Amino acid sequence: MSISKVQIHTTEARIGINVQTGKQTIRQHKVEQSIQQPKADMTIRQRPGKLTIDQTKAWHNLDLKNVLVRTEELVGEARQIWLEGIARVSREGDELMRIEDGGNPIAAHAKQNAGFEFTMQPGGRPVYDLVDFNYVPGEAEISVDPQDPIIKAQPREPEISYQSGNVDIYMKQYGDIQIDWKV
């Protein structure tokens, strides 16, 4: 007995795809920007200092004195001479009271009072040491008014370009079934 055979041949279906990719470009331009910094307003007011020079002691050292100082000195010296004179007269009176003790007090007094003694004292210190300086500095007034910076910025939009892609799908090979009977 003969049995028939079935033969089946199949061909697979195939799909083809063509892809064109899309393109996108983005360009960002730099921002246009300007910055200006104005100078700060500054004012300085310097008050003058005060300098005082007192050379009174230097003039006194050179014996150049005003009338009031000279009068005070003379009054002081006169008082001292007067007190010394009172002491001398009192001492001489005591010596004359004791004349009986011997000696010659009258001649001794005449000899003592005949001479004149004085002392002169020139200035002893250098003049520059006797000048007094005093300086009071003046205050400085400083005023600063800062200025804000001037900033200008012009943003720029990005340039975007887009080219879309394409997908093409097609049948590359169609599917097929062949059935054959063989005896």
Report how far residue 44's alpha carbon sits from residue 144's, in angstroms, rounded to the nearest whole number: 9
Residues 52-65 have pLDDT tens digits of 999 888 888 777 88
CA atoms within 13 A on the CB side of 84: 7
pTM surpassing 0.85? no
Q: Answer whether residue 14 shows pLDDT above 70.
A: yes
pLDDT at 148: 94
Q: Which of 5-19, 56-70, 118-132 is predicted most confidently? A: 5-19
Mean pLDDT of the chain: 87
What mean pLDDT is predicted for residues 87-111? 84
